[in-house]
């Protein structure tokens, strides 16, 4: 059934597009450099990497869970791929593969913990607890292994690897191309496969999904692996873009991931939302942060404003859920 003009206007994605455009105009007036080619290139390069991370978070929240570990997983996997390349001289493709395997292991641990303890615990509680643990442990491991020092990955030593994060192809930042590929795969998986229907079904009603014969444990286990792999891929791309792996990279990214998902209209109770909304949400959040920095607003105020945005988004999200019910 085709969408009417009224229905299109009322969609949350339409409002987000308008908000992003308004922000670009506002910051462009306040700081003309914001709309320069170099600035926009950097914005969309970062938005692409954060978008891959946020799509991973979207999978988890759609299934009725939550993941607090994206920032720590990004920091840890960034250090791992950097260490493999610089210290152990592993070939770049093999280093990426081994790092993604680490992501699979992290996701499998999250999925195992979640499926084994839900029930008897409430649906969201196991994922909250295990990913909170990964947030703390992952950050600590990254700091301990490097004693807080960065691992350099220079274009001279690793030209192909650094191109993945900092290069351009067809006039587009390479991370943006990766984001488009990931988005296409995710849209197909969510809307054109039984797996996607199961993810929405479990998030919408765990009991109804169980009665329908959906393999809840297998689906949720797969969701956490997918999310951790996407977090790991984002960590790899950030290391490639920065030409270095910093143990503090990813700090606070869980805030960006969850706020982007909430702003994008994905129900925090699960079962509702689109990856498009998430991508628009992450564009909005990162544009605000970049614009505030470029207009010389204190970084402490930037964090406060981001937190207020998250609280507002969660409030609107919950209000809409209550109103629908």
Identify whether 3 is part of a domain.
no
Within a domain: 4: no
136 cis-preceded (ω within 30 degrees of 0): no
Residue 112 is assigned to a structural domain of this protein = yes
- The predicted model scores a pTM of 0.93
On whether residue 8 sits in a domain, the answer given is no
- Report the phi/psi class of residue 237: left, alpha or beta, with left for phi > 0 and alpha for psi in -120 to 50: alpha
Tell me if 252 is assigned to some domain: yes
Q: Is 270 left (phi over 0), alpha (psi -120 to 50) or beta?
A: left
Domain of 282, in residue numbers: 13-266+275-324
Please report whether residue 5 resides in a domain. no
Coil, strand or helix: which one is 11?
Answer: coil
How, if at all, do strands 172-173 and 168-169 pair?
antiparallel
**Is residue 77 assigned to a domain?**
yes
Residue at 6 is within a domain: no
Report how many domains make up the chain: 1
Per-residue pLDDT of the chain in tens (325 residues, 90 and over written 9): 455 666 666 677 888 888 889 889 999 999 999 999 999 999 999 999 999 999 999 999 999 999 999 999 999 999 999 999 999 999 999 999 999 999 999 999 999 999 888 766 667 888 999 999 999 999 999 888 888 899 999 999 999 999 999 999 988 999 999 999 999 999 999 999 999 999 999 998 888 998 999 999 999 999 999 999 999 999 999 999 999 999 899 998 998 999 899 889 898 888 989 999 999 999 999 998 899 889 988 877 877 877 787 677 767 766 666 666 5
Which CATH number fits the domain that encloses residue 96?
1.10.3470
In three-state secondary structure terms, 36 is coil
Beta bridge partners of 151: 245
């Amino acid at each position: 059934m085709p969408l009417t003009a009224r229905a299109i206007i009322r969609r949350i994605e339409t409002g987000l597009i308008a908000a992003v455009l308004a922000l670009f105009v506002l910051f462009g007036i306040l700081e003309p450099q914001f709309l320069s080619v170099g600035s926009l290139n950097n914005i969309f390069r970062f938005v692409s990497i954060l978008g891959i991370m946020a799509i991973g978070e979207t999978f988890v929240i759609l299934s009725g869970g939550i993941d607090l570990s994206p920032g720590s997983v990004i920091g840890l996997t960034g250090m791992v791929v950097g260490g493999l390349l610089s210290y152990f001289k592993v070939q770049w493709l093999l280093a990426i593969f081994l790092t993604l395997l680490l992501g699979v292991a992290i996701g499998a641990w999250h999925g195992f913990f979640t499926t084994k303890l839900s029930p008897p615990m409430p649906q969201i509680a196991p994922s909250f607890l295990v990913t909170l643990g990964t947030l703390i442990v992952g950050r600590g491991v990254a700091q301990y292994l490097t004693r807080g020092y960065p691992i350099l990955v220079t274009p001279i030593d690793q030209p192909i690897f650094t191109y993945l994060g900092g290069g351009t192809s067809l006039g587009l930042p390479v991370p943006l191309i990766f984001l488009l590929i990931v988005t296409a795969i995710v849209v197909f998986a969510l809307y054109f496969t039984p797996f996607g229907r199961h993810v929405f079904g479990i998030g919408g009603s765990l009991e109804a999904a169980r009665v329908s014969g959906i393999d809840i444990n297998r689906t949720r286990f797969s969701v956490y692996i997918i999310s951790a792999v996407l977090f790991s891929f984002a960590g790899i791309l950030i290391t490639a873009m920065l030409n270095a792996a910093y143990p503090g990279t990813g700090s606070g990214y869980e805030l960006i991931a969850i706020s982007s998902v909430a702003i994008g209209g994905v129900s925090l109770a699960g079962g509702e939302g689109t990856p498009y909304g998430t991508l628009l949400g992450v564009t909005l959040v990162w544009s605000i942060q970049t614009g505030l920095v470029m207009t010389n607003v204190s970084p402490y105020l930037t964090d406060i404003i981001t937190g207020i945005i998250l609280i507002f988004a969660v409030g609107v999200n919950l209000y809409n859920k209550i109103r629908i019910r």
